[in-house]
Amino acid sequence: MKSGFVMLAGRSNVGKSTLLNALIGTKVSIVSPKPQTTRHPIRGILHDARGQLVFVDTPGVFLGRKDRVSTTLNEFVHETLDGVDAVIYVMDPSRDIGAEELYIQNLLRQIKVPVIALINKMDLPESERSFTETYRAVDVGQSQNFELSAINRKNLNRLIDVLFTLSQNGDAHYPDLQLTDIGHNQWLEELIREKIFLNLNEELPYSIKVSLDELETRPDGSRYIAASIWTTDERYKRMIIGAKAQMLKKIGAAARNELEHVTGTKIFLELTVKVDPKWQERFV
Ligand SMILES: Nc1nc2c(ncn2[C@@H]2O[C@H](COP(=O)(O)OP(=O)(O)OP(=O)(O)O)[C@@H](O)[C@H]2O)c(=O)[nH]1
Ligand SMILES: [Mg+2]
Please give the CATH topology (third level) of the domain spanning 2-169. Rossmann fold (3.40.50)
User: Per CATH, which fold does 184-283 belong to?
Assistant: GMP Synthetase; Chain A, domain 3 (3.30.300)
CB-based contacts of 78: which residues, under 8 Å, 6+ apart? 107
Separation of 120 CA from ligand 2 center, angstroms? 13
Are 8 and 57 contacting, i.e. CB atoms less than 8 angstroms apart?
yes
68-92 in b/e burial notation, b at 16+ Cβ within 10 A?
Answer: ebbeebbeebeebbeebbbbbbbbb
Query: What does each C-alpha distance from 189 to 67, 108, 155, 194 come to in angstroms?
Result: 22, 32, 31, 9
pLDDT band for position 36 (50/70/90)?
Answer: confident
Q: What is the pLDDT of residue 22?
A: 97
Give residue 120 CA to ligand 1 midpoint distance, Å.
9
Strands 209-217 and 168-169: unpaired
CA distance linking residue 116 with residue 164, whole number of Å = 13
Q: Which of 21, 31, 126 to mutate to test the pocket of ligand 1 (most atoms within 8 A of CB)?
A: 31
Cα end-to-end distance, the chain, whole Å: 37
Helices marked H in the chain — which ranges?
Answer: 16-24, 68-80, 99-110, 132-136, 156-166, 184-199, 234-241, 246-263, 279-283
CB of 147 sitting under 6 A from ligand 1: no
Please report the pLDDT score of residue 59 as a whole number.
Answer: 85
- Per the model's pLDDT, the better-predicted residue between 35 and 8 turns out to be 8
Measure 229 CA to ligand 2 centroid, in angstroms: 20
Cα separation of 249 and 229, whole Å? Answer: 13
Tell me if 45 sits within 8 A of 174, measured CB to CB. yes
Assign 174 to helix, strand or coil: coil
Q: Select, from the ranges 32-36, 146-150, 205-209, the one with the highest average predicted confidence (pLDDT).
A: 146-150
The predicted pLDDT at position 80 comes to 60
Residue 19: band (very low, low, confident or very high) from pLDDT cuts 50, 70, 90: very high
Is residue 251 within 8 Å of residue 195, measured between CB atoms?
Answer: yes
* Burial class for 175, CB neighbours closer than 10 Å (0-12, 13-18, 19+): exposed
Structure confidence by residue, pLDDT tens digits, 254-270:
999 999 998 899 999 99
pLDDT in tens, 71-96: 555 565 566 655 689 999 999 999 99
Q: What is the largest CA-CA distance in the chain?
A: 59
Q: What is the mean pLDDT of residues 5-9?
A: 93
Predicted local distance difference test score (pLDDT) of residue 154: 84
What are the structural domain ranges in the chain?
A: 2-169, 184-283
Residue 232 CB–ligand 1 contact under 6 Å: no
Q: pLDDT tens, 151-205? A: 999 889 999 999 999 999 999 989 988 999 999 899 999 999 999 999 988 767 6
Ion ligand 2 — residues with CB < 5 Å:
16-17, 37-38
- 203-252 per-position pLDDT tens digit: 676 778 999 999 999 999 999 999 999 998 899 999 999 999 999 999 99
Q: Helix 99-110 to helix 68-80 angle, to the nearest 10 degrees?
A: 30
